[in-house]
Structure 1
């Protein structure tokens, strides 16, 4: 559909929102903690914390006491002393996620996974065979409860943004339908933090100017917001405040980046130990790259300091690669550069991300024109870990501390 201005000249095509509320956002409630409560009856109805040094997940009984993720475990226990702490079982969460996504796939072929515990579903074309979107959502919730044993909240709306907000409002274990003629009535009373793109910094700027609700932001208009936040953020947030979001539910979308991180606690870490952690993260991410048949161009080091401020450092490679040695070299350079600020401010978390991903088969070959070797050390180690588990082979520097937790992910 083309939209023309008053002079009759055509502008670029714009996708309009659908007429009916038929996009579902399904989100498992406190996923890790819910799996633990499902599998261990003694935990049901109790405040449960999943994690070690930091809280990876908290049951709603613990959240009611102010516990949030990712909170330091000591702080969480001060807020909720009676909480039961359980170690994470990533394999159990991965299996539960697969079972839930099987229910999604049985509901509609148009499923866009966001993470292992949430997805968008388009049910707009299913009325004749499955009924109205609300009935479909109720059936989905009942099937997840019956087949997987987990609570799930679902939001229904015309747009992905509103569906996600609706599922958050419906938590825990609820369903919320936003009718097309009630969208602004639903959205405008909510705090501005509900808008995608409003983090701590943007929220602080808005609050300083007396903007705390979505409706206030909408009333001020894009020109005012442009002076406050810049043109891109103003355009984005004003559109959301008016419930405009033309994005479709898409299937088969590949990741734009992959990452892994390791919480370190508030202990002193010497440079050699930090370097070993970076090497371990490199091994983990390189394995994921090769399993997905992809290569990366940019390596990003992410740091969280003792005062909970954050910083990033990035390095773009000359050629895209999936080789651990090249990724490791770039990551070590970034770590060395950040060494002085780490020594000054302490460090509680270190992470690594790989971006500018490309399909390995589409990369321009360099001279001599030969296919990528499949008998490399990286490939051999990948095969060993695939056959005998990720801990079958590890770096000597990580023998005492281990490789850290590997969070289950959706297939790429």
Structure 2
């Protein structure tokens, strides 16, 4: 979906249409969850500090997030997906992989299916969607960003290698800002540059990610679309309207977060063994502290007890703007080998003070 949260807000409130808006945060505090395309023209992006967003775009309008509404529309969109295939792997409320090799419509063209789905989404929700179509998940994901917003890109089998060679390295899915800068220093600016490096060279400079980069630039990505993707972690976090330095106040916030996690664990009927405390300081540096025990827990009391232990594990270096708790090593975990994408999957409920 194109700028999903922001587009929903503009859909429901005509006064916001055509204006730069940010979902989440405020002019003085918080973090942007999503930005409209009008705001993106000024460099406003998700996960950006609201203060910086306001500095970049003085006329930006901050809107409170409504996750219940986003979930409602997301379910409508997924119901359209299932008209075509049962092989649907949601990545988030606004994104999913679909395998349409064999589809319910008997349509041999994935490009036509993508166009139909996008038209149905527009008719049913009033929102625009973009799509990427190709031979595997990696290339389809990369292609989905090429003609945004409200467009699609097909990379046919015979076009894959040329497409990847010409692609700017920062557009490779899995190459973030820090990795891109490291690649630039190594003279890697395009897929062609990346392809010129040996697997040993990439492993030496990028560790376990090296073989991944070596394969994907050659169009090799074996991950299947998994409709029953298992959750690997569950958590909640809270960004505060003012920095806090008192551990007493932190414990109060952690109590509320633990209660939220308990509710979600009960709803999902899962438990876990590893508790991780996430701390973001006022200077935006991030710290995590984890502890694993030998038995599964799901109660707020035990989660809070472990979070409290982690909080006191070492002295705080500064005042705190965000606290979070996550529970992993869940009883849904399978002993079978997991893909990189499966290992990364984390469900975190964001909370903001307004």
TM-score in same-fold range (> 0.5) = yes
Structure 1 partner of 2:33 = 56
Structure 1 partner of 2:325 = 352
Structure 2 partner of 1:98 = 75
Contact 1:127-1:133 within 8 A present in 2 as well: no
Per the normalisation by structure 1, the TM-score is 0.77
Structure 1 residue 346, shift from structure 2 partner:
2.9
* Aligned-residue CA RMSD (Å): 2.0
Tell me if 1:70 matches 2:47: yes
Contact 2:245-2:318 within 8 A present in 1 as well: no
- 3-state SS of the aligned residue for 1:184? helix
Change (3 A) 1:292 1:75: same
Change (3 A) 1:165 1:301: same
Structure 2: distance between partners of 1:351 and 1:189: 40
Unaligned 5+ segments in structure 2 are 334-349
Structure 1 segments, 4+ long, off by >4 Å, are none
Structure 1 residue 235, shift from structure 2 partner:
0.7
For residue 184 of structure 2, the aligned residue among 207, 229, 242 is 207
Structure 1 partner of 2:347 = none
Tell me if 1:159 matches 2:132: no
Structure 1 residue 59, shift from structure 2 partner:
0.2
Q: Deviations over 1:265-320 (max 9, x none)?
A: 56243111111111111111121112111110100111222232222110002211
Structure 1 residue 156, shift from structure 2 partner:
0.3
Per the normalisation by structure 2, the TM-score is 0.89
Contact 2:85-2:104 within 8 A present in 1 as well: no
Structure 1 residue 89, shift from structure 2 partner:
1.6
Contact 1:293-1:359 within 8 A present in 2 as well: no
Mapping 1:4-403, distance limit 5 Å: 28-52=1-25, 53-126=30-103, 129-230=106-207, 232-264=208-240, 267-338=243-314, 340=315, 342=316, 344-359=317-332
Unaligned 5+ segments in structure 1 are 1-27, 361-402, 407-412
Structure 2: distance between partners of 1:164 and 1:267: 37
Contact 2:6-2:23 within 8 A present in 1 as well: yes
- 3-state SS of the aligned residue for 1:107? coil
Q: Computing the radius of gyration over CA atoms, which structure comes out larger, 1 or 2?
A: 1
How many corresponding residue pairs? 333
Change (3 A) 1:40 1:128: closer
Structure 1 residue 163, shift from structure 2 partner:
0.6
Structure 2 partner of 1:4 = none
Contact 1:265-1:349 within 8 A present in 2 as well: no
Structure 1: distance between partners of 2:71 and 2:166: 37
Structure 2 partner of 1:11 = none
